[in-house]
């Protein structure tokens, strides 16, 4: 029962960390630290939680609430300005265990890593609590996860709307947040500046799991004709729609980056065999070849994709992208709406 309770507590903490990260992501982006502290006070209503800390990706403390020994009320602590975050920003969360506490690190990520949540909770139990858990565990788990699911869905909806409004406001006021610099302002996907760190992270995952990483250079066939005939606004709408379709065609662990114009780079990781790569590329080509409705007009384009496979291709980060670009031109020479792999 102790093990079950500890497992339940760990899952609860992770779920709380996920819900909290969705709720405060836009507050970090807009520097709404007063409202951020209010949200942390709600989490601290759980008496098993000793402290909650929110930092940026470098470990600079943005807000810290803690419950001192013998006190039921949580209060801010302004004496700590920086703590050491996890070494790897690739993971979503980490759980550390001590003799009397669980420490959860949960990454705040709205498409771009914004910071970390550090939540310390007690793992001490007593007989009365164990007995209560024995009697009510099924009902408690159901109520907890049902509530968290509903809350998470509402928080996701609110976070998406607030993030969009916050980004527009940040751009209008020329704010210099680093996170905004890594987003393409038109398509709202990572831009050229984000490519190097995303590719470094993808290579690290490939080295860790031993699977292939496909670096894909994608160019839209027929985009210039649409831009010339229907105008730049229609061209922008087509780019937004094409980026959205591509993003939905890949997995959450993969990335799509806009280099500029109608050129994109895709990072497709965890590929165990060539068949997996072929299936992924075909899915992307199919969704882009389906007609688009732009300004109430039916528009058809396609895509040519060049692929550089890591670790078969042992070049540098720049080499991988350049090799994929070379393979893309080979695909175009085959008649477009197809793909080609760079031969090392």
Catalytic residue among 56, 179, 221, 262: 262
What is the DSSP secondary-structure string of 202-259? HHHHHHHH--EEEEEEEEEETHHHHHHHH-HHHHHHHHHHHHHHHHHHS-TTSEEEEE
pLDDT for position 340:
96
Instruction: State yes or no: is 262 an active-site residue.
Output: yes
Average model confidence (pLDDT) across the chain: 84
pLDDT for position 1:
45
What length is written for the chain?
Answer: 344
pLDDT tens digit sequence for 264-287: 999 999 999 999 999 999 999 999
Q: Which domains does the chain have, with CATH numbers?
A: 2-172 (3.30.450), 192-341 (3.30.70.270)
pLDDT for position 126:
47
Beta partners for residue 293, in sequence order: 298
Q: How confident is the model at residue 258 (pLDDT cuts 50, 70, 90)?
A: very high
CA distance 317 to 197: 10
Q: Is the pLDDT of residue 127 over 60?
A: no
> Please, what is the Cα angle at 305 between 181 and 268, to 5 degrees?
60
| Mean local confidence (pLDDT), 337-344 | 92
Q: Is the pLDDT of residue 124 over 70?
A: no
| Mean pLDDT comparison of 99-113, 115-129, 329-343, highest-scoring range | 329-343
Q: Is the pLDDT of residue 315 over 90?
A: no
Is residue 212 a contact partner of residue 311, using CB atoms and an 8 Å limit?
A: yes
pLDDT tens digit sequence for 88-120: 767 788 888 887 788 888 888 888 888 888 888
Is residue 290 a contact partner of residue 298, using CB atoms and an 8 Å limit?
A: no
| Mean local confidence (pLDDT), 143-168 | 76
| Helices and strands (H, E) in the chain, number of each type | 9, 13
Q: Is 108 exposed, middle or buried (0-12, 13-18, 19+ CB in 10 A)?
A: buried
Neighbour-count burial for 292-324, b at 16+ CB within 10 Å, e otherwise: bebeeeebebbbbbbbbbbeebeeeeeebbbbb
Helix 274-289 to helix 232-249 angle (10° resolution) is 150
- Among 4-13, 176-185, 208-217, the range scoring the smallest mean pLDDT is 4-13
pLDDT for position 234:
94
């Amino acid at each position: 029962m102790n093990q079950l309770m500890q497992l339940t507590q760990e899952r609860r903490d992770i779920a709380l960390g996920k819900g909290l990260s969705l709720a405060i992501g836009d507050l970090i982006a807009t520097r709404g630290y007063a409202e951020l502290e209010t949200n942390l006070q709600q989490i601290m209503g759980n008496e098993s939680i000793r402290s909650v800390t929110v930092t940026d990706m470098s470990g600079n403390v943005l807000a810290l609430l803690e419950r001192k020994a013998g006190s039921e009320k949580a209060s801010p602590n302004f004496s700590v300005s920086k703590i050491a975050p996890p070494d790897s920003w690739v993971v979503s969360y980490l759980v550390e265990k001590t003799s009397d506490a669980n420490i959860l690190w949960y990454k705040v990520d709205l498409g771009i890593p914004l910071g970390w949540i550090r939540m310390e909770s007690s793992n001490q139990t007593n007989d009365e609590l164990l007995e209560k858990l024995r009697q009510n565990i099924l009902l408690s788990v159901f109520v907890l996860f049902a509530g968290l699911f509903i809350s998470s869905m509402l928080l996701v909806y609110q976070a998406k709307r607030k993030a969009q409004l916050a980004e527009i406001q940040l751009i209008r006021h020329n704010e210099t947040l680093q996170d905004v610099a890594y987003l393409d302002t038109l398509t709202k996907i990572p831009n050229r500046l984000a490519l190097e760190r995303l590719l470094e992270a993808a290579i690290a995952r490939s080295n860790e799991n031993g699977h292939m990483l496909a670096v894909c250079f994608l160019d839209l066939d027929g985009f210039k004709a649409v831009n010339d005939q229907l105008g730049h606004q229609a061209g922008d709408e087509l780019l937004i729609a094409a980026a959205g379709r591509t993003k939905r065609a890949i997995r959450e662990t993969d990335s799509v980056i806009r280099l500029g114009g109608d050129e994109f780079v895709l990072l497709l990781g965890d590929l165990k065999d060539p068949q997996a790569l072929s299936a992924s590329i075909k899915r992307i080509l199919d969704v882009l070849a389906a007609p688009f409705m732009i300004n109430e007009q039916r528009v058809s384009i396609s895509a040519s994709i060049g692929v550089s496979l890591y670790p078969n291709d042992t070049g540098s980060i720049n080499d991988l992208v350049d090799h994929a670009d070379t393979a893309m031109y080979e695909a175009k020479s085959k008649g477009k709406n197809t793909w080609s792999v760079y031969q090392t």
